Amino acid sequence: MMHAHAIPVRAPRMTWPVLLAAALLCGWLAGCSTAPPAKKTGKATNPNRNAIAKLQVDSKDRQEVVLYALGLLDVGYQFGGKNPEAGLDCSGLVRFVYKSALDIDLPHNAAEMARLARPVNGQGLQAGDLVFFNTSGKPYSHVGIYLGDGKFIHAPSTNGKVRVESMGLAYFASRYQGGATLFAEN
């Protein structure tokens, strides 16, 4: 298990094209999903679960998540990467974005993130939600942040840079395992 250490986090530099793209993407909804693995019953092992459960559905918070994520476009991939200076992997990207935008500590593991989050069914995916894929033969081995309009941002090892992809691409559509949210229900 990896332990997080509190370090100051600097907001990514936002340029007007990134802000414009984020503003457009935040309003779009699309997607369909299947449920992530069933949550374990019993006492939560992550003390941050209570903080996550208290996140309210607030479009401002969703926009913050998307803005931070888009500010990391073209950051290099690094397996196990936890920060933009050293590079990010998929769960490192999601963890860094949620910590920077909402001060929420997430595990550095896509499958653990899926267990913490609440499944989103049908057309319910919204900007800032998480999308999970099986890209290595293991369930929930890859995670990205849903942007809206069938697009997500992630840190793939292939061509090694944070980028936006379409969930409709055959590669991702065939490996999609579901969407989930860390935001409370309305």
Q: Where are the domains of the chain?
A: 16-34+47-181
pLDDT in tens, 135-154: 999 999 999 999 999 999 99
- Contact status, residue 161 vs residue 84, Cβ threshold 8 Å: no
pLDDT at 51 over 50: yes
32 among known catalytic residues: no
Strand blocks (E) in the chain = 82-83, 87-88, 118-120, 130-133, 142-148, 151-154, 163-166, 176-181
Helix (H, G, I), strand (E, B) or coil at 150: coil
Q: Model's pTM, two decimal places?
A: 0.73
Helix (H, G, I), strand (E, B) or coil at 132: strand
To the nearest 10 degrees (0 to 180), the angle between helices 16-26 and 59-70 is 140
108 among known catalytic residues: no
Per the residue annotation, which of 3, 26, 32, 90 is the catalytic one? 90
pLDDT at 22 over 80: no
Rounded to whole angstroms, how far apart are CA atoms 146 and 30?
A: 9
142 among known catalytic residues: yes
Helix (H, G, I), strand (E, B) or coil at 143: strand
Confidence label for 48 from pLDDT (cuts 50, 70 and 90): low
Residues 6+ apart with CB under 8 A from 64: 101, 102
pLDDT in tens, 65-118: 999 999 999 999 999 999 999 999 999 999 999 999 999 999 999 999 999 999
Per the residue annotation, which of 3, 5, 108, 154 is the catalytic one? 154
Backbone angles phi, psi at 7, to 5 degrees: -130, 150
Enter the CATH code of domain 16-34+47-181: 3.90.1720.10
